[in-house]
């Protein structure tokens, strides 16, 4: 699953307690699965990534096996299986703020 954090980064969470390692792969890193995820005490693997607003495709790789995140913004067929779709919207914090007047 994915969530937009308060700091503007996307948090990727993948539950695979039996895995010895998990990585994040997507079109935002050239589908290279060199982005390691960190395991928490409950068996979730977590990665936080700063992404510009836009639409992305991604999958998780745990112990060499690729997994689709069906809790993402959608899925679509790709060349090598089902890809998860992530939509990063411009956050309200990133919107232009009114200029302040200095008296």
DSSP state of 5: -
Give the per-residue pLDDT at 4: 83
Average of per-residue pLDDT values in the chain: 85
**Residue 22 or residue 98, greater confidence:** 22
**What are 18-38's pLDDT values in tens digits?**
999 999 999 999 998 789 999
Give the per-residue pLDDT at 63: 97
DSSP H/E element including 93? none
Q: Would you give the end-to-end CA distance of the chain in angstroms? A: 48
Does the pTM surpass 0.85? The reply is no
- Residue pair 57/85 in contact (Cβ under 8 Å)? The answer is yes
Could you tell me what percent of the chain has a pLDDT over 90? 64
Rounded distance between C-alpha atoms, residue 58 and residue 25, angstroms: 6
């Amino acid at each position: 699953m994915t969530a937009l954090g308060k700091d503007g980064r996307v948090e990727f969470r993948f539950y695979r307690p039996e895995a010895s390692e998990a990585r994040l792969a997507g079109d935002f890193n050239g589908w290279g699965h060199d982005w390691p995820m960190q395991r928490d005490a409950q068996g979730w693997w977590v990665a936080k990534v700063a992404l510009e607003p836009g639409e992305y495709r991604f999958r998780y790789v745990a112990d060499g096996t690729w997994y689709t995140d069906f809790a993402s913004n959608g899925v679509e067929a790709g060349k090598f299986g089902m890809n998860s779709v992530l939509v990063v919207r411009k956050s309200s914090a990133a919107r232009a703020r009114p200029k302040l007047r200095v008296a």
